Structure 1
Amino acid sequence: MTVHMHTTALPHRLALLLVLFASVTAQASVVIDSTRIVYPQNDKEVTLRLESKNHTPVLIQAWLDSGDEHSTPDQAIAPFVVTPPIARMEPGKQQVLRLAYTGETLPSNRESLFWFNLLEVPSQSPGAQRADQLQFAFRSRIKVFFRPPNLPYGVEAAPDKLQWCHVPTAQGLALEVFNPTPYHVTFERIEVHAPGQRHVREPAASGAENMVTPGGRRRFTLPGAKTSLGAAATVEFQTLDDVGMKNRHRANVCPG
């Protein structure tokens, strides 16, 4: 899950909090009960539970987008409706959000990816009435996997079908993964082993950079790697499943 922080003058409309955007390390106090959402196409709706850890009331706004992290509720494009789109949460209370697919045509032979956004605006402190009073808001962002029925095998089989190669690039040696499956695969950690070499890639800050799309390829640079990993190279990697649990895998790495 990605958390961003926003600052702006006290707004009349919640959406105006997105005018200024700064990506920082921050901790939102409205907790989402999942790190990802899987939406089976045949389901009428899916639910998401929130819990407020705040000591004061907060206002929340939720929407989905198709990949633009700078999206705003009035500009985002995604075939889903969130109910309620705006809500007030009291301290320590929970809120259930419902996501409903609106029926637009999406690919039937692979997953589609969208992003769920939750903007959290703390209540104004007593006596803070100045028009230029700055207020902090937090936006959390998690992936939404829209999954059509009748895919050829289950999502749990996807990681072991990935194909890994090492390839030379202008920046040096890179590890390339090809995903022949209809599922998105999200990586938590990647470790390459070769005779006399070991290269570790920790998760990137951006959720999209830690994932390979259906039918897609992604390259991970290997700083300090030699011109070749040799024929005996292997990759050990962790993936995240539908509930965010880590699973370990191992595969051979072929020459590019």
Structure 2
Amino acid sequence: MKKSLAMSVALAGLLSLFAVPSHAGISLNGTRVVLAGPKKEASILVLNDESAPIMIQSWIEPFSTSTDQDVPFALTPHLKRLNGNARHQLRVLYQGLGLPADRESVFWLSVQEIPQKSKDENILQIAVRQRIKLFYRPAGLPGDVDQAPSRLQWRMVPKGGKPGLEIRNDSAFHISFGTVNVKSGSNIYSVPATMLPPYSSQSFVIEGASSLAPGGATKIEFESINDDGVAVQHSGDISS
């Protein structure tokens, strides 16, 4: 314990010797990119919010680190010098093969500022990365992406001896959540759902809920995030 505390103090002292930049130099004009078929290209703007030029590096990677999923996209430019207070269009190109045609696929798109070499040796430089979701949406998918959240199925299930909530998505679209709350009588319980893939279900323990109000007294209230990154409010019933 003493050793750990000493190391923490030493690290804090070391960092105090350096000046750290107060904010990042780049920003993106969206919170997600949707490449909708039959188009083979989508884009997003990268903005340099500083007066000095910067270098940016961009790449696409699998959404899940537990898979060896191929990334059938090209990104241009991969490396770019961006002048002060300038903007540049980052293009995502899909080769047209390698992804399911019956549902959406999701990847990470990362854009990182490459720190410039400083003349001052006492400056601690940090590479700041912006990471957003990239969705590929094949043409001809059944249903409507904007209606998919309202068609989710919510069911009470016991989980580890505690009240639990199962969420089922029978649509071909990913559904991203803002907040998800179970409202039981006058009590509100938060559920840590973030995103539900197509044709899948997830179950969560309803933390803090020892028992729930019977029947129609228990409702679901949640936010879904649409293609524009806007949180849309929903409410619904929970089946038992």
Q: What band does the TM-score fall into relative to the shorter chain? A: 0.7 to 0.9
Q: Is 1:181 aligned with 2:171?
A: yes
Q: Do the aligned residues in 1 keep the contact of 2:184 with 2:212 (CA within 8 Å)?
A: no
User: Do the aligned partners of residues 235 and 64 (structure 1) sit closer, same or farther apart at CA in structure 2, a change above 3 Å counting?
Assistant: same
CA–CA separation in structure 1 for the residues paired with 2:74 and 2:138: 18
Which has more radius of gyration? 2
Q: Is 1:252 aligned with 2:233?
A: no
Secondary structure (helix, strand or coil) at the match of 2:150 reads helix
CA–CA separation in structure 2 for the residues paired with 1:95 and 1:68: 28
The unaligned stretches of length 5 or more in structure 2 are 1-21
CA–CA separation in structure 2 for the residues paired with 1:213 and 1:171: 26
Q: Where do 1:39-188 residues align within 5 Å?
A: 39-68=35-64, 77-128=70-121, 135-170=125-160, 172-188=162-178
Partner residue of 2:6?
none
Deviations 1:75-134 (A, max 9, x none): 984110011000112221111111100222321111111111111123222244x9xx85
The unaligned stretches of length 5 or more in structure 1 are 1-25
CA RMSD of aligned residues (A): 2.5
Deviations 1:216-241 (A, max 9, x none): 11233322102444222110111111
How far apart are residue 200 of structure 1 and its match? 2.9
Tell me which stretches of 4 or more aligned residues in structure 1 moved more than 4 Å.
68-71
How many residue pairs align between the two structures?
218
Larger relative contact order (Cα-Cα within 8 Å, sequence gap ≥ 6): 1
How far apart are residue 38 of structure 1 and its match? 0.6
TM-score by length of 2: 0.82
User: Do the aligned partners of residues 33 and 172 (structure 1) sit closer, same or farther apart at CA in structure 2, a change above 3 Å counting?
Assistant: same
CA–CA separation in structure 1 for the residues paired with 2:146 and 2:89: 28
Percent of paired sites with the same residue: 30
User: Do the aligned partners of residues 144 and 171 (structure 1) sit closer, same or farther apart at CA in structure 2, a change above 3 Å counting?
Assistant: farther
Partner residue of 1:243?
228
Secondary structure (helix, strand or coil) at the match of 1:136 reads coil
CA–CA separation in structure 1 for the residues paired with 2:56 and 2:64: 20
- What is the one-letter code of the residue matched to 1:108? A
